[in-house]
Amino acid sequence: MRGILDRFEGDKAVILLQDTKEEYIVNESELPAGSKINTVFDLEKNRTTYKIKRINISNTEEAAQQSSDLMAKLRAKSRRSKFKK
Calculate mean pLDDT across residues 8-27. Answer: 93
pLDDT at 23 over 80: yes
Distance CA 59, CA 70 (A): 16
pLDDT above 90 covers a percentage of the chain that reads: 51
Give the per-residue pLDDT at 74: 80
Is residue 80 very low, low, confident or very high in pLDDT (cuts 50, 70, 90)?
Answer: low
pLDDT at 26 over 90: yes
pLDDT at 71 over 70: yes
Give the per-residue pLDDT at 62: 86
Give me the residue spans of the domains in the chain.
2-75
Give the per-residue pLDDT at 84: 65
Residue 48: partners with Cβ closer than 8 Å, 6 or more residues away? none
Instruction: Give 2-75's CATH code, choosing from 2.40.50, 2.120.10, 3.80.10, 1.20.1740.
Output: 2.40.50
pTM: 0.74
